[in-house]
Chain A
Amino acid sequence: MAFQLLLNVFLAFVWMFLKGSTEADTFIIGYIIGLLLIFLTRRFFTGRFYLYRIVSILKLLFIFIKELILANYAVFKSIIRPNAKLTPGIFAMKTVLTADWQITILSNLITLTPGTLVVDISEDNSTLYIHAMDISNKEATIEAIQNSFEKAILEVSK
């Protein structure tokens, strides 16, 4: 990923030297031509074509913002409703993610999801302990949401 990005910037600079101009739009045109070249020669690189990863990062960011808005709606509902019945609790969740940054992003996502907050992460990075606002019927759906988060994070690191 980083190598392809660097190569693309380098190709854009080569284009600027070929044109003999230092304008920003020459750089942008050179960058687009370099992007095309890297796409055409993508089978010689070890990783994927790096635009795929950028798209999946953008998708993750979109999920982040969507979940934040949904979470606020849920909190709003549970605060406004008079004497709502709360059944909070802490449950454990296994995760397939291994790298530290992946677990950090996952727990940030979970913290911003409706009704869940990460309390602790086990020593071996395999289990997350999550405090949920309403544990009675939500556990299955929460697990489903988290599977989609995990999938999105794995998509980025593939």
Chain B
Amino acid sequence: MIEIIINIITGTLIFLGAALTVVAAFGVIKLPDVYTRNHAASKSATLGIMCILLGTCLYFFQTEGVFNSRLILAIAFIFITSPVAGHLVIRAAYNTNVPMCDHTIRDDLKQQQKITSE
């Protein structure tokens, strides 16, 4: 009984992770500029990979009785580093004057930079 429940949870986690990664990929194709694409890439891919790793950890715990702590460590590392990576990509894009899409209606940072440069 427990075995079936763990199997269902494992399957759901791995499917959910794969689905989220697909959504992130679609987002990167569909969204208009680098900033909005970064939203999709930095969030959905993070949770997707975390779900897949958690599912893998559960699977090996159930089938072989080994608790693989390296997978948990990998989850923690991805959780810490991926928002920072998203921030750095978007900051580098902004500082090299990559244009934003046409719908953009507000830009406080540009005003601030104008004030400081004057």
A positions within 8 Å CB-CB of B: 64, 68-69, 71-72, 75-76, 79-80, 85-92, 107-108, 111-112, 115, 117-120, 122, 127, 129, 131, 133, 135-136
Give chain B interface residues in 43-88, CB to chain A under 8 Å. 43-44, 46-47, 79-80, 83-84, 86-87
Q: Closest residue to B33 on the A side, CB-wise?
A: A88
Picked from B20, B27, B86, the residue with its CB within 8 Å of the CB of A117 is B86
* With contact pairs A72-B43, A79-B27, A88-B35 given, residues A122 and B101 touching in the complex (Cβ less than 8 Å): no
Set of chain B residues within 8 Å of A86, measured between Cβ atoms: 31-32, 36, 101, 103
On chain B, the number of residues with a Cβ less than 8 Å from chain A's Cβ atoms is: 39
* With contact pairs A88-B101, A88-B103, A89-B104 given, residues A108 and B84 touching in the complex (Cβ less than 8 Å): yes
Picked from A75, A90, A108, A115, the residue with its CB within 8 Å of the CB of B23 is A75
Determine if B23 and A119 form an interchain contact, defined as CB atoms under 8 angstroms apart: no
In the bound complex, CA of A98 to CA of B9 (Å) = 42
In the bound complex, CA of A135 to CA of B103 (Å) = 11
- Return B108 CB to nearest CB of chain A, in Å: 4
Set of chain B residues within 8 Å of A92, measured between Cβ atoms: 108-109, 112
Q: Closest residue to A131 on the B side, CB-wise?
A: B35
In the bound complex, CA of A120 to CA of B91 (Å) = 6
In the bound complex, CA of A32 to CA of B18 (Å) = 43
Q: Closest residue to B32 on the A side, CB-wise?
A: A86
B15 contacts the other chain (CB 8 A): no
Set of chain B residues within 8 Å of A119, measured between Cβ atoms: 35, 87, 90-91, 94, 109
Determine if A69 and B47 form an interchain contact, defined as CB atoms under 8 angstroms apart: yes
* With contact pairs A68-B43, A117-B42 given, residues A111 and B86 touching in the complex (Cβ less than 8 Å): yes
Determine if A72 and B44 form an interchain contact, defined as CB atoms under 8 angstroms apart: yes
B13 contacts the other chain (CB 8 A): no
Q: Which residue of B31, B83, B91 has the most chain A CB atoms within 10 A of its CB atom?
A: B83
In the bound complex, CA of A63 to CA of B32 (Å) = 30
**B94-113: contact bitstring with A at CB < 8 Å (1 yes, 0 no)?**
10000011011111111010
